Amino acid sequence: MSCAACAARIERALRALPGVLRASVNLASAGAELDYDPARTGPGPVRRAIREAGYRAEDLDDSGSGFARRQEESRRDLARQGRSLVPALFFALLLLVLAMGHMVGLVLPSWLDPEHSPLAFGLTQLGLALPVVWLGRGFYVRGLPALWRRAPNMDSLVAVGTGAALAYSLWSLTDMVLGLDPAARARDLYFESAAVLLAMISLGRFLEARARLRTGEAVGALMRLSPDTALLIRDQGEETVRVDELAPGDLVLVRPGERVPVDGAVVRGASSVDESMLTGESMPVAKAVGDQVTAGTLNAHGSLTVRAERVGRETTLAGIVRLVRQAQGTKAPIADLADRVSFYFVPAVMAAALASGLAWLLIGGAGLSFSLRILVAVMVIACPCAMGLATPTSIMVGTGRGAQLGILVKSGAALQAAAKIDVVVFDKTGTLTVGRPEVVEVLEVPAGLDPDRALGLAAAVERLSEHPLAEAVVRAARARGLDLPEVRDFEAAPGMGVFAVLDGQRILLGNREFMDANQVLCPDQDPGRGLGERGVSALYLALDNRLAAVFGLADRLRPEAAEAVARLRSMGLDAVMLTGDTEAAARAVARGAGIDRVAARVLPERKAREVAGLKAQGLRVAMVGDGVNDAPALAAADVGLAMGSGMDVAVEAGDVVLVRPDLSRVPAAIALSRAVMRNIRQNLFWAFAFNVVGIPVAAGVLHLFGGPTLNPMLAGSAMAMSSLAVVSNALRLRSFRP
């Protein structure tokens, strides 16, 4: 495809096929994505439709090797363009000096001077122009057949414009050979215009292709993170194997300075692992036995033995690459106008060029030479490429940059929606909080136990329970290195507490209701009352029905939560918290995070209704959740941001996936979307403005009021640079910092 008109025509050809529900063609990624009914059509008719439209297609190999092959092909094409470009520019420059040198005082030898030897002057110009035309023959090979198929594209404009200049020049040269006023005809040659146009447009295409190649660097960098080989540990020793030969359950050795080849768990060794290319977090993360590691991360200094859990296309890294590639192939709704304009653009420009040339010739009283210059200038200044590249290049670079920051955007539509958000809704547990209750304090009671002794007894009982609060008590005791004695006669009272016996002593551990039911506390006696007011759950320990200690347990607020909410407020966004927890617990967490609007005791199925209620108020809502029980609310929101370290549920649930559970990525994701949309609007403005201003100037509007006309060579150069400007502007997103 050479321009947006090509993409628009292929898109229409595909949509016309029976059974095709949706078709999207992306100029920047050179890809098409379809949803179709396999009972009515298939890959064969799709390829045939594309071939009948004048193009060819192949199935997209979205593996790492497939992407690397396409990148290598693009580099080879770029090298071929470069090899053709050098001689084309050389001959075009010689021709320009020959034809226009007299304007800067250059004196030609008499045998080449147009006044003394006009025929030699004309034939030399032809001789210099032919190599340029041959090197730029692709414009004619692609453009003229497209014109014949009544599907003109950018190459058609170049072919017709430069072809008209060449044809007129050959006609004048023929008159010179026949002796029909050779001196006058020598001043009426346009070989240099055609040659310089072809050379400059080829230069623009080369620079544009080189810039577009860089838009895929982020995906390429992600793919290069995965090593090609791994050190597999077998019974007989270690063996270097290809990564694609590994299977779940294999043990691999990761030495210092090597990248982890699989997703898995550390079974031996300790080290620090650099996860920055996957999570955006620059600080290395300590890893020890039992910790999870991810393929593509860099082992810093210690050796790790890792048991593979996910390999190849199942790893988190492979999932991230697929998600980014999917996003880069999508369009944002803002591109619809450019797509519609691009389809009709080339025929409209050709009609405008013919109308302008004929108007100057028939109405304006200008000569054929002047009218031809107008026609050629209008033909070559028009640039649907810039319009077609304005949106997809920004999306490609923006989503690639997001992936480097640990922000995975699933589509261009999600990017556009995130830029317009008014309010951000947070789930509490696992989102604003770490999602794991912890013992935050131990209250001593009159005639109670020493805190460590109390915690050890509680953990000894809770070790036999599977309740999340029980796990928190056991973790706290083990963190302090306490001994956990063996208890017997364990019994649980669901929703209330547990019983056990130690050395003949009856131990009770549970909530206030459990204590009341066993007559441990008097109605007006509750040492843990103040904990509830602070959003901390009270867990009571009693020995032989006498209160021995009170433990305060809470799910800690994420350390970055308050800063993230403050950042959202500074961006003009409001924040709301939804939780199924009690009002007191919800208010305590909300105060710590700096959130004023809270809805407590909201069950998962009601969260979606709360989101819908905000949308009914005319607000555009983003929902931030952990991607599991928040899935309905994530789907109901205008934009769902799924947090978590896994890729499974999060990818399905959210429009944006935050690779690591870090709330600072929420304002970063919205800032990125705003930056991308601002970049797209800049690109579209300049693309449309260039054509809106450039085409009338090329048509000679300024000349009507005594101003200058636009030389076709300048018109062609400006057209070539417009696409480069759009791609270069998009590449600025690579340096985005949240």
Residue type, 502: L
Q: Enter the tokens of residue 5.
A: 């008109």
Q: Which of the given ranges, 323-327, 378-382, 517-521, 725-729, has the highest pLDDT on average?
A: 725-729
Least confident of 100-104, 332-336, 702-706, 731-735: 100-104
Report residue 696 as tokens. 């009338």
What is the spatial distance between Cα 75 and Cα 246, in angstroms, rounded to a whole number?
A: 31
> How far is it, in rounded angstroms, from Cα 455 to Cα 593?
30
Residue (of 725, 734, 721, 714) closest to 684 by Cα position: 725
Question: CB under 8 Å, gap of 24 or more: what pairs does 468-476 form?
Answer: 468/436, 468/437, 469/437, 469/537, 469/539, 469/553, 470/498, 472/436, 472/437, 472/438, 472/439, 472/553, 473/439, 473/539, 473/551, 473/553, 475/438, 475/439, 476/438, 476/439
Confidence band, pLDDT 50/70/90 cuts, at residue 346? confident
Contact 508, 545 (CB under 8 A): yes
Q: Is the pLDDT of residue 647 over 50?
A: no
d(CA 130, CA 124): 10
Residue 128 pLDDT greater than 90, yes or no: yes
Q: What dihedral angle (degrees, nearest 10) is formed by the CA atoms of 516, 518, 522, 526?
A: -50
Statement: residue 280 has pLDDT above 70: no
Cα angle 97, 717, 342 (rounded to 5 degrees) comes to 150
Cα(113)–Cα(120) distance, rounded to whole angstroms? Answer: 8
DSSP of 567-630: HHHHTT-EEEEE-SS-HHHHHHHHHHHT--EEE-S--HHHHHHHHHHHHHTT--EEEEE-SSTT
| Distance (Å, whole) CA 583 – CA 32 | 51
- The pLDDT > 70 percentage for the chain reads 93
Q: How far apart are CA 583 and CA 606, in angstroms?
A: 16
Asked which of 49-53, 437-441, 615-619, 668-672 is least confident by mean pLDDT, the reply is 437-441
pLDDT classification of 646: cutoffs 50, 70, 90: very low
- Which helix H or strand E contains 435, and what residues bound it? strand 433-444
Residue 435, pLDDT score: 76
Coil/strand/helix, residue 473? helix
**Residue 645: pLDDT band by 50, 70, 90 thresholds?**
low
Q: Report how far residue 629's alpha carbon sits from residue 609's, in angstroms, rounded to the nearest whole number.
A: 14
Helices (H), 425-558: 451-462, 468-479, 512-517, 529-533
What does the pLDDT read at residue 302?
Answer: 84
Mean pLDDT to the nearest integer, 450-472: 85
Of residues 446 and 503, which shows the higher confidence score? 503
Lowest-confidence pick of 217-221, 418-422, 535-539: 217-221
Q: Are 175 and 37 in contact (CB under 8 A)?
A: no
pLDDT (0 to 100) of residue 390: 80
Task: Indicate the angle between helix axes 217-224 and 316-328, nearest 10 degrees.
Answer: 170
- Confidence (pLDDT) at 649: 42
Please state, in angstroms and rounded to a whole number, the distance separating the CA atoms of residues 341 and 134.
32
- Report, as residue numbers or ranges, the catalytic residues: 427
pLDDT of residue 63: 61
- Which residues, in sequence order, are CB contacts of 232 under 8 Å at separation 6+? 238, 239, 240, 241, 245, 246, 250, 251, 252
Q: What is the pLDDT of residues 515-540, one digit of tens each?
A: 888 888 765 677 777 777 677 888 88
Long-range contacts of 365-369 (CB under 8 A, 24+ apart): 368/168, 369/168, 369/188
Residue type, 213: L
Q: What CA–CA distances, in Å, run from 573 to 425, 563, 568, 637, 654?
A: 10, 14, 5, 15, 20
Question: Residues 495, 469: contact at Cβ < 8 Å?
Answer: no
β 304-310/285-287 pair status: unpaired
Cα 558 to Cα 564: distance, rounded to the nearest angstrom: 10
Name every residue whose Cβ is closer than 8 Å to that of residue 78 and which is 6 or more positions away in sequence. 206, 209, 210, 213
User: How many angstroms separate the CA atoms of 292 and 176, rounded?
Assistant: 82
Report, as an integer, the average pLDDT of 424-429.
88
pLDDT digits (tens, 9 = 90+) for 549-573: 889 888 888 889 999 999 999 999 9
Task: Please give the distance of CA 531 from its chain centroid, rounded to a whole number.
Answer: 45
Average pLDDT of the segment spanning 38-57: 91
**Edge-to-edge strands of the sheet including 285-287?**
285-287, 271-274, 298-299
DSSP letter at 107? Answer: P
pLDDT at position 267: 92
Picking from 388, 393, 395, 383, the residue whose alpha carbon sits closest to that of residue 722 is: 383
* Exposed e or buried b per residue across 632-655, where buried means at least 16 C-beta atoms within 10 angstroms of its C-beta: bbbebbbbbbbbbebbebbbebbb
Instruction: Indicate the pairing of strand 263-269 with strand 251-254.
Output: unpaired
What pLDDT does residue 650 have? 44
Average pLDDT score over the chain: 84
Instruction: Choose the most confident range, by mean pLDDT, from 397-401, 534-538, 600-604.
Output: 397-401
Alpha helices (H) in 62-178, listed in sequence order? 64-100, 118-135, 137-148, 154-177
SS3 17: coil
Q: What H or E segment, with its residue span, contains residue 673?
A: helix 665-698
More confident residue, 182 or 137: 137
The winner for highest mean pLDDT among 479-488, 525-534, 647-656, 714-723 is 479-488
Give the chain's radius of gyration (CA, Å).
35
Among 68-77, 84-93, 474-483, name the most confident range.
84-93
Examine the pLDDT at 623 and tell me if it is beyond 70: yes
- The whole-number pLDDT of residue 677 equals 93
Q: What is the mean pLDDT of the segment spanning 192-207? A: 82
Residue 376: closest CA among 121, 665, 164: 164
Query: What length is written for the chain?
Result: 738
The predicted-structure confidence for 130-144, as pLDDT tens digits, reads as follows 999 999 999 899 888
Indicate the pairing of strand 292-293 with strand 263-269.
antiparallel
CB 694 within 8 A of CB 386: no
Mean pLDDT within 658-674: 90
644 Cβ contact list (under 8 Å, min separation 6) = 626, 627, 650, 657, 658, 661
Quote the pTM value.
0.73
pLDDT at 134: 95
Query: Is pLDDT at 169 greater than 60 in this prediction?
Result: yes
